Amino acid sequence: MRNILITGANGQLGCELRALVESEEFKINNSRFLTLNPQFTFATREALDLSNLCAIERFFEGKTFDAIINCAAYTAVDKAESERELADTINHRFVSMLAKIAKRDNAKLIHISTDYVFDGKNNRPYIESDPTNPQGVYGQTKRDGENAILAVSPENTIIIRTSWVYSSFGNNFVKTMLRLGKERESLGVIFDQVGTPTYARDLARTILDILPEMNNSKPEIYHYSNEGVASWYDFAKAIFEISGVGCLVDPITTDQYPTPATRPHFSLLNKNKIKSEYNINIPYWRDSLANCLKEM
């Protein structure tokens, strides 16, 4: 496995992957992986325009990769309600093309999906085989991308659903809270949507650990987030407590903060499958948040 393509290289997860493969930690902990002498290609939006299917075809002309990690996605949840075609092109049609390329070239493929494929009405953490029922365009297009992979059925392919991703890179809830917390004395934050924050660095580390071990005859779906349970209110409180920001946080309900897209009220993901099959240890969300805030 020599040539590894990472799409969405300027996004949160793509940036974390780049930081990891360039770090001493990676060199120390992935010595067996490094004997394969992997060469990473980090494709940004400028190099790989996902809104243009013809440009995508041109990018892959004459190129062969041994593995593809697809971190690219249309993630503007509310804008997707009015930009369905663009969201579908990036989250569905591009993913279908990747699956066909992976099958043609016998390449490993890791695709990142989302908790938004579920309707959020469960009363227990979602397992991989639970029925999907997305409530908005973003979730629908991400589910369509998953289904496209399953239909093409390339070997050595996994889909990883995750939730509430944040990082020291890019724009995210943590950075928004830190900015607003320094500007205001108090903030209202939703308390009736429950899930688990996921530090993109932890997910990136897991992807690199899993990649050399993949050996499945058909696509498999896994769930990954940090451990524990939180509402957005809990998340905001923890951000301010750990960072020492004195902003007060008031709990509000979803109907007090209406948005164009419907969010799942319950997004907990059961991670037993990925932990048992790949021997993954997953950090607690507050511990990972503290690590991220140190990075900032």
Residue-wise pLDDT tens digits, 3-50: 999 999 999 999 999 999 998 888 777 777 777 778 999 999 889 999
* Residue from 74, 138, 166, 224 carrying the catalytic annotation: 138
Q: What are phi and psi of 245, to 5 degrees?
A: -85, 130
pLDDT at residue 107, as a whole number: 96
Residues 6+ apart with CB under 8 A from 249: 186, 187, 188, 189, 233, 236, 237, 240
- pTM value? 0.96
pLDDT at residue 24, as a whole number: 84
CA–CA separation, 21 vs 15, rounded Å? 10
Residue that is written with structure tokens 């928004």 in the block: 176
pLDDT at residue 28, as a whole number: 74
CA–CA separation, 162 vs 160, rounded Å? 6
pLDDT at residue 192, as a whole number: 96
End-to-end CA distance of the chain: 33
The angle that helices 53-60 and 94-105 make with each other, rounded to 10 degrees, is 20
Mean pLDDT of the chain: 95
The answer to whether 233 is a known catalytic residue is no
C-beta separation of 6 from 71 below 8 A = yes
- CA dihedral for 90, 43, 30, 292, sign (positive or negative): negative
CA–CA separation, 219 vs 225, rounded Å? 20
CA distances from residue 69 to 5, 42, 59, 230, 271 in whole angstroms, order as listed:
6, 10, 16, 28, 20
Paired tokens of 133: 């029922």
Paired tokens of 70: 């697809």
C-beta separation of 142 from 261 below 8 A = no
Please write the tens of the pLDDT for every residue from 80-95.
Answer: 999 999 999 999 999 9
CATH classification code of 3-172+197-227+268-283:
3.40.50.720
pLDDT at residue 38, as a whole number: 85
Please write the tens of the pLDDT for every residue from 173-217.
Answer: 999 999 999 999 999 999 999 999 999 999 999 999 999 999 999
> Residue 173 carries which DSSP code?
H
164 pLDDT tier (thresholds 50, 70, 90): very high
> Residue 70 carries which DSSP code?
E
pLDDT at residue 37, as a whole number: 79
Residue that is written with structure tokens 């498999």 in the block: 220
- 271 vs 35, higher pLDDT: 271
pLDDT at residue 198, as a whole number: 98
CA–CA separation, 75 vs 190, rounded Å? 20
pLDDT at residue 228, as a whole number: 98
The fraction of the chain above a pLDDT of 90, given in percent, is 89
With left for phi above 0 and alpha for psi between -120 and 50, is residue 245 left, alpha or beta?
Answer: beta
CA–CA separation, 159 vs 201, rounded Å? 18
Interior angle at CA 169, CA 165 and CA 205, nearest 5: 60
pLDDT at residue 293, as a whole number: 97
CA–CA separation, 247 vs 185, rounded Å? 5
Paired tokens of 293: 């805030």
CA–CA separation, 230 vs 93, rounded Å? 33
